């Protein structure tokens, strides 16, 4: 039987997820299968790559150490909004509208370059990884979610697409191997399945589940410091509201069948905006995730077979 780690989407609030992952892995949980959507796909890819890297180098596989490396990744690489995406100039946006070639409100070159340099200059660690990794992105033509793993030649495209917030970030074009190279537009997997519980449950080998969501248990509390004049905050808040029921259904589906599932999520909305954040914001959000994980893990013993 296998342990499944399910990582939801959540944009920059993936820092919360990173903090929670650290506590989960330090508690003794060893993931056999990792499923990620959006920023969860980024965190999951990091864990998988680092694990494979250690095995390739004949080093001891220490998931707790890898979780510390994930924290360092966030603190060293995600310090401000421009580390993820850069706002495009008004003239560019107007030109896109006039030419009907909208490419999002931002350029995602920073996060795309970071992903490529970290994971795809040398892809061999994926071959040594002790766990399976699955990430999801939505095909905007069909409306369905499609999954990919590192064995796919298109995995990098799916990973970038999975992290692409609709409207804020550009669509990712991915050729279909089934349609003679026909190009399809892909975007954030979270608009279809926020936490990829369905595919995790579809693996009959999985019997222990940890699900880490960035979405709060109570979204409807009044959101402090919400600037509804900011198009960035409006898009993020709109998506939060639209996917609120989706994530509840995702979690309910899982916990109804597997009531011992450990679910970790914030109690209230995380006060972190993609448009503007600091390294201190990232650090505090990581600690928030760690604190919430400690609460959820009380009385849980992953070493019991």
Q: So what's the pLDDT on residue 168?
A: 82
Distances in Å between the Cα of 133 and the Cα atoms of 82, 152, 155, 304 are 28, 11, 11, 24
Q: What pLDDT is stored for residue 227 in this prediction?
A: 64
* Cβ-proximal residues to 230 (8 Å cutoff; 6+ apart), any chain: 275
Query: What integer pLDDT is reported at residue 249 of this predicted model?
Result: 85
Q: Give residue 242's Cα distance to chain centre.
A: 18
Residue 221 tokens, joined: 């509390």
The pTM of this model reads 0.92
Which residues contact residue 63 at a Cβ distance below 8 angstroms, ignoring those fewer than 6 apart?
A: 25, 29, 30, 31, 47, 51
CB 169 within 8 A of CB 108: yes
C-alpha distances in angstroms, 145 versus 60, 138, 179?
36, 4, 17
Residue 222 confidence (pLDDT): 47
What pLDDT is attached to residue 276? 87
Q: How many helices (H) and strands (E) does the chain have?
A: 10, 10
**3 state SS of 30:** coil
Report which of 62, 18, 29 is spatially closest to residue 288, judged by C-alpha positions: 18
- Cβ density class 277-287: b for 16+ within 10 Å, e for less: beeebbbbbbe
User: pLDDT of 31-54, one tens digit each?
Assistant: 999 999 999 999 999 999 999 999
**Average model confidence (pLDDT) across the chain:** 89
Model pLDDT, residue 274: 86
Residue 220 banded pLDDT, cuts 50, 70, 90: low
Task: Tell me which long-range contacts 97-102 makes (C-beta under 8 A, separation of at least 24).
Answer: none
**pLDDT > 80? residue 142:** yes
The set of residues, in sequence order, having a beta carbon less than 8 Å from that of 208 and lying 6+ positions away, is: 1, 2, 3, 4, 29, 260, 302
Distance CA(23)–CA(292), nearest Å, equals: 9
Whether pLDDT at 64 is above 80: yes
State yes or no: pLDDT of 286 exceeds 70. yes
Residue 223 has pLDDT above 70, yes or no: no
d(CA 213, CA 288) in angstroms, rounded, equals: 13
Q: What's the rounded Cα separation, in Å, for the pair 154 and 176?
A: 9
**In this predicted model, what pLDDT tens digit does every residue of 80-91 receive, in sequence order?**
999 998 887 877
pLDDT digits over 93-130, tens only? 666 666 667 777 788 999 999 999 999 999 999 999 99
């Amino acid at each position: 039987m296998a342990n499944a780690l399910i990582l939801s989407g959540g944009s920059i609030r993936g820092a919360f997820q990173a903090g929670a992952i650290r506590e989960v892995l330090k508690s003794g949980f060893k993931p056999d299968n990792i499923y990620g959507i959006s920023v969860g796909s980024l965190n999951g890819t990091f864990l998988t790559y680092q694990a494979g890297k250690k095995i390739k180098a004949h080093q001891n596989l220490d998931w707790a150490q890898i979780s510390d490396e994930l924290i360092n990744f966030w603190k060293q690489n995600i310090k401000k909004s421009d580390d993820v995406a850069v706002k495009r100039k008004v003239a560019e946006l107007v030109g896109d509208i006039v030419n009907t070639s909208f490419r999002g409100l931002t350029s995602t070159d920073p996060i795309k370059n970071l992903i490529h340099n970290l994971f795809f200059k040398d892809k061999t660690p994926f071959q040594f990884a002790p766990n399976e990794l699955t990430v999801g992105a939505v095909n905007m033509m069909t409306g369905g979610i499609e999954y990919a793993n590192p064995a796919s030649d298109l995995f990098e495209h799916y990973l970038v697409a999975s992290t692409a917030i609709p409207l804020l970030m550009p669509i990712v074009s991915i050729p279909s191997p089934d349609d003679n190279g026909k190009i399809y537009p892909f975007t954030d997997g979270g608009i279809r399945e926020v936490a990829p519980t369905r595919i995790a449950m579809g693996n009959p080998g999985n019997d222990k589940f940890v699900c880490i969501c960035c979405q709060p248990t109570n979204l409807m509390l009044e959101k402090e410091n919400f600037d509804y004049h900011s198009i960035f905050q409006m898009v993020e808040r709109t998506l939060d509201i639209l996917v609120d029921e989706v994530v509840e259904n995702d979690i309910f589906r899982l916990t109804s069948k597997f009531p011992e599932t450990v679910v970790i999520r914030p109690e209230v909305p995380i006060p972190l905006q993609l448009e503007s954040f600091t390294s201190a914001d990232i650090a505090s959000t990581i600690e928030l995730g760690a604190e919430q994980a400690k609460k959820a893990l009380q009385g849980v013993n992953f070493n019991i077979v």
